[in-house]
Amino acid sequence: MQPDLRYLSVPIPGWLSVSFAGLVVLLIIGIYYTIRPVAEKQTPFILLGCLLWLSLLFGLAQNAFFLKTQAVPPRFLAAVLPPFLFITGTFLSRKGRKFIDGLSMRRLTWVHTVRIGVELLLFQLFAVGQIPQAMTFEGRNWDILAGLTAPLMAMMVFGPKKWSPRVLLWWNIAALGLLINIVATAVLSAPLPFQQLGFEQPNVGVLKPAFIWLPGFVVPIVLFSHLAAIRRL
């Protein structure tokens, strides 16, 4: 079955791209306040690295680099492999593990509230034909539950009532499962050689600016936050 690619070259509405960019800015602010107490001297360099990476992704997407869906290997890998390798290297190195173990668990939990905004914008992306319904909370994506419950976890585990850290551990494991679910759905819905879902309305939106930042930056940050928390717990 051939995917319907009528929206592949259709730009995402400007207000949607600007809204997602604003969400990424808020995430960067959250990253700043999370890593600053642990690595104050390195924080400016880390943020500069993030901005350079975001600029590179945006530039490639702006020039339709990721829209060449028949390229071998898939160009989409250029957006997701570097963050994955960076995360892997951080966990494997002694300095990286020391950095992880110094991060605030409360702030690592609050980071996941970004998923509320992400899911609301994904629904709008579906409404304009850029992703399939399966990638929204009306389909098979329940990731918004992680975002909605993150404040509860932060307040109850680290607040006066002090829920057991084991509750936070199981929440992180469950929320990580939700993340893996939507990532798998998104990949299998993209118009790539191994597409299995969403043929009537493929996942083309995340191949364009500014939504290329979702797989290339937002998802890796969320993944890192879960893995760091699970390691600590």
- Ordered by start, the domain boundaries in the chain are 14-232
Kindly indicate the confidence band of residue 142, based on its pLDDT and cuts at 50, 70 and 90.
very high
Angle among Cα 1, 189, 202 to the nearest 5 degrees reads: 70
pLDDT for 72:
87
pLDDT in tens, 10-53: 999 999 999 999 999 999 999 999 999 999 999 999 999 999 99
Torsional sign, CA 59, 64, 69, 71: negative
Six-digit token pair at 139?
């389909």
Exposure on the CB side of residue 152, measured as CA atoms within 13 A: 8
| Rounded percentage of the chain residues whose pLDDT exceeds 90 | 92
pLDDT for 107:
96
- In this prediction, residues 64-83 reach a mean pLDDT of 94
pLDDT in tens, 190-228: 998 889 999 999 999 999 999 999 999 999 999 999 999
Kindly indicate the confidence band of residue 160, based on its pLDDT and cuts at 50, 70 and 90.
confident
pLDDT for 2:
85
How crowded is residue 211: how many other Cβ atoms within 10 Å of its Cβ?
A: 27
CA–CA separation, 83 vs 127, rounded Å?
29
DSSP class of residue 217? I
Tell me: pLDDT of 170 over 80.
yes
- In this prediction, residues 122-149 reach a mean pLDDT of 97
